[in-house]
Amino acid sequence: MLNLRKLKQDFSSNILKEGKTLFDENKVIAAKILHLDASVLRINAKVLGQYNNTYESVIEIDREECQTIDSDCDCPYHYDCQHLAALLFYLEANLDSIIVEYSKSNDLEMIAEKEGLDEEDKEKFLEAVKVAVTKQEEKRDEQYQKELLKEYIHAATILSRSPFFLPPQTKVIDQADP
Protein backbone atom coordinates (compact mmCIF):
# COMPACT_ATOMS: atom_id res chain seq x y z
CA MET A 1 0.00 0.00 0.00
CA LEU A 2 2.72 2.50 0.97
CA ASN A 3 6.42 2.64 0.31
CA LEU A 4 7.53 3.73 3.76
CA ARG A 5 11.20 3.47 2.81
CA LYS A 6 10.63 6.23 0.26
CA LEU A 7 8.83 8.33 2.88
CA LYS A 8 11.76 7.96 5.28
CA GLN A 9 14.10 9.52 2.71
CA ASP A 10 12.69 12.93 3.63
CA PHE A 11 14.32 12.66 7.08
CA SER A 12 17.96 13.10 8.03
CA SER A 13 19.75 10.01 9.31
CA ASN A 14 20.00 11.44 12.85
CA ILE A 15 16.27 12.16 12.98
CA LEU A 16 15.54 8.65 11.67
CA LYS A 17 17.81 7.15 14.33
CA GLU A 18 16.04 9.12 17.08
CA GLY A 19 12.66 8.12 15.62
CA LYS A 20 13.68 4.45 15.54
CA THR A 21 14.73 4.72 19.21
CA LEU A 22 11.35 6.24 20.10
CA PHE A 23 9.59 3.45 18.21
CA ASP A 24 11.73 0.72 19.82
CA GLU A 25 10.96 2.14 23.26
CA ASN A 26 7.20 1.99 22.47
CA LYS A 27 6.83 5.77 22.66
CA VAL A 28 4.17 5.84 19.91
CA ILE A 29 1.10 5.70 22.13
CA ALA A 30 -1.64 5.68 19.52
CA ALA A 31 -2.18 6.23 15.82
CA LYS A 32 -5.37 6.51 13.83
CA ILE A 33 -6.46 7.39 10.34
CA LEU A 34 -8.09 10.77 10.04
CA HIS A 35 -8.74 10.55 6.30
CA LEU A 36 -8.40 7.80 3.73
CA ASP A 37 -9.30 7.80 0.09
CA ALA A 38 -7.82 6.51 -3.17
CA SER A 39 -5.10 9.15 -3.28
CA VAL A 40 -4.54 10.50 0.26
CA LEU A 41 -3.89 8.99 3.67
CA ARG A 42 -3.86 11.28 6.72
CA ILE A 43 -2.74 9.82 10.05
CA ASN A 44 -2.68 11.30 13.52
CA ALA A 45 -0.49 9.92 16.33
CA LYS A 46 0.45 10.66 19.89
CA VAL A 47 4.15 10.18 20.59
CA LEU A 48 5.96 10.48 23.91
CA GLY A 49 9.02 12.68 23.77
CA GLN A 50 11.59 13.86 26.25
CA TYR A 51 10.49 14.26 29.85
CA ASN A 52 7.29 12.34 28.99
CA ASN A 53 5.86 15.20 26.95
CA THR A 54 3.18 13.96 24.59
CA TYR A 55 3.34 15.35 21.08
CA GLU A 56 0.61 15.15 18.50
CA SER A 57 1.97 14.32 15.07
CA VAL A 58 0.01 14.38 11.83
CA ILE A 59 1.24 13.22 8.44
CA GLU A 60 -0.60 13.38 5.13
CA ILE A 61 0.69 11.04 2.44
CA ASP A 62 0.03 10.92 -1.29
CA ARG A 63 -0.70 7.19 -1.73
CA GLU A 64 0.02 7.14 -5.45
CA GLU A 65 3.43 8.87 -5.29
CA CYS A 66 4.30 7.76 -1.72
CA GLN A 67 5.31 11.28 -0.83
CA THR A 68 4.56 13.42 2.17
CA ILE A 69 2.05 16.11 1.25
CA ASP A 70 2.00 17.73 4.67
CA SER A 71 3.31 16.95 8.12
CA ASP A 72 2.95 18.66 11.44
CA CYS A 73 4.04 18.01 15.01
CA ASP A 74 3.48 20.19 18.03
CA CYS A 75 7.11 19.73 19.13
CA PRO A 76 9.63 22.57 18.59
CA TYR A 77 10.68 21.15 15.17
CA HIS A 78 7.08 21.14 13.81
CA TYR A 79 7.87 18.91 10.79
CA ASP A 80 10.40 16.24 9.77
CA CYS A 81 11.04 15.55 13.45
CA GLN A 82 11.86 12.37 15.36
CA HIS A 83 8.21 12.03 16.40
CA LEU A 84 7.07 11.84 12.77
CA ALA A 85 9.94 9.44 12.03
CA ALA A 86 8.77 7.26 14.94
CA LEU A 87 5.29 7.35 13.42
CA LEU A 88 6.68 6.06 10.11
CA PHE A 89 8.38 3.15 11.88
CA TYR A 90 5.11 2.51 13.72
CA LEU A 91 3.20 2.51 10.43
CA GLU A 92 5.69 0.06 8.98
CA ALA A 93 4.79 -2.40 11.73
CA ASN A 94 1.09 -1.59 12.27
CA LEU A 95 -0.43 -0.01 9.16
CA ASP A 96 -2.61 -3.02 8.38
CA SER A 97 -4.14 -3.08 11.86
CA ILE A 98 -4.77 0.69 11.71
CA ILE A 99 -6.54 0.30 8.36
CA VAL A 100 -8.59 -2.62 9.68
CA GLU A 101 -9.63 -0.55 12.69
CA TYR A 102 -10.56 2.35 10.39
CA SER A 103 -12.59 0.06 8.13
CA LYS A 104 -14.55 -1.27 11.12
CA SER A 105 -15.61 2.19 12.23
CA ASN A 106 -16.29 3.69 8.78
CA ASP A 107 -18.43 2.69 5.82
CA LEU A 108 -15.84 2.41 3.06
CA GLU A 109 -18.44 2.12 0.31
CA MET A 110 -19.94 5.44 1.39
CA ILE A 111 -16.48 7.07 1.61
CA ALA A 112 -15.66 5.88 -1.91
CA GLU A 113 -18.93 7.30 -3.26
CA LYS A 114 -18.49 10.55 -1.32
CA GLU A 115 -15.04 11.01 -2.81
CA GLY A 116 -16.56 10.60 -6.28
CA LEU A 117 -14.32 7.67 -7.22
CA ASP A 118 -14.98 5.94 -10.51
CA GLU A 119 -15.51 2.17 -10.45
CA GLU A 120 -11.85 1.33 -11.10
CA ASP A 121 -10.54 3.60 -8.33
CA LYS A 122 -13.27 2.41 -6.00
CA GLU A 123 -12.25 -1.20 -6.62
CA LYS A 124 -8.57 -0.35 -6.00
CA PHE A 125 -9.48 1.43 -2.79
CA LEU A 126 -11.63 -1.40 -1.46
CA GLU A 127 -9.08 -4.01 -2.58
CA ALA A 128 -6.33 -2.21 -0.64
CA VAL A 129 -8.46 -2.44 2.49
CA LYS A 130 -9.22 -6.13 1.84
CA VAL A 131 -5.48 -6.82 1.47
CA ALA A 132 -4.82 -5.04 4.77
CA VAL A 133 -7.52 -7.11 6.49
CA THR A 134 -6.02 -10.32 5.09
CA LYS A 135 -2.51 -9.35 6.18
CA GLN A 136 -3.77 -8.48 9.64
CA GLU A 137 -5.53 -11.83 9.97
CA GLU A 138 -2.37 -13.65 8.82
CA LYS A 139 -0.29 -11.68 11.30
CA ARG A 140 -2.73 -12.49 14.10
CA ASP A 141 -2.68 -16.20 13.17
CA GLU A 142 1.11 -16.19 13.07
CA GLN A 143 1.24 -14.52 16.49
CA TYR A 144 -1.21 -17.09 17.84
CA GLN A 145 0.97 -19.93 16.51
CA LYS A 146 4.06 -18.41 18.17
CA GLU A 147 2.25 -18.06 21.50
CA LEU A 148 0.94 -21.62 21.26
CA LEU A 149 4.42 -22.94 20.53
CA LYS A 150 5.79 -21.03 23.52
CA GLU A 151 3.12 -22.60 25.73
CA TYR A 152 3.96 -26.09 24.42
CA ILE A 153 7.66 -25.57 25.06
CA HIS A 154 6.99 -24.23 28.54
CA ALA A 155 4.68 -27.16 29.35
CA ALA A 156 7.19 -29.68 27.98
CA THR A 157 9.93 -28.16 30.13
CA ILE A 158 7.81 -28.41 33.26
CA LEU A 159 6.67 -31.95 32.48
CA SER A 160 10.19 -33.12 31.72
CA ARG A 161 11.14 -32.35 35.32
CA SER A 162 8.13 -34.07 36.83
CA PRO A 163 8.94 -37.35 38.61
CA PHE A 164 5.73 -38.79 37.19
CA PHE A 165 7.18 -38.71 33.67
CA LEU A 166 10.73 -39.78 34.53
CA PRO A 167 11.62 -43.44 33.98
CA PRO A 168 11.67 -45.49 37.16
CA GLN A 169 15.08 -45.82 38.72
CA THR A 170 16.11 -48.99 40.45
CA LYS A 171 18.33 -48.74 43.42
CA VAL A 172 21.42 -50.86 43.19
CA ILE A 173 23.09 -51.54 46.46
CA ASP A 174 26.81 -51.51 46.06
CA GLN A 175 28.18 -54.28 48.23
CA ALA A 176 31.57 -53.86 49.76
CA ASP A 177 34.36 -56.14 48.54
CA PRO A 178 35.19 -59.03 50.96
With 0.85 as the threshold, say if the pTM is over it. Answer: no
Rounded to the nearest 10 degrees, how much is the dihedral formed by the CA atoms of 10, 13, 17, 19?
Answer: -20
pLDDT band with cut points at 50, 70 and 90 for residue 153:
very high
pLDDT band with cut points at 50, 70 and 90 for residue 32:
very high
pLDDT band with cut points at 50, 70 and 90 for residue 99:
confident
CA distance readout (Å), 176 to 71, 172, 173: 87, 12, 9
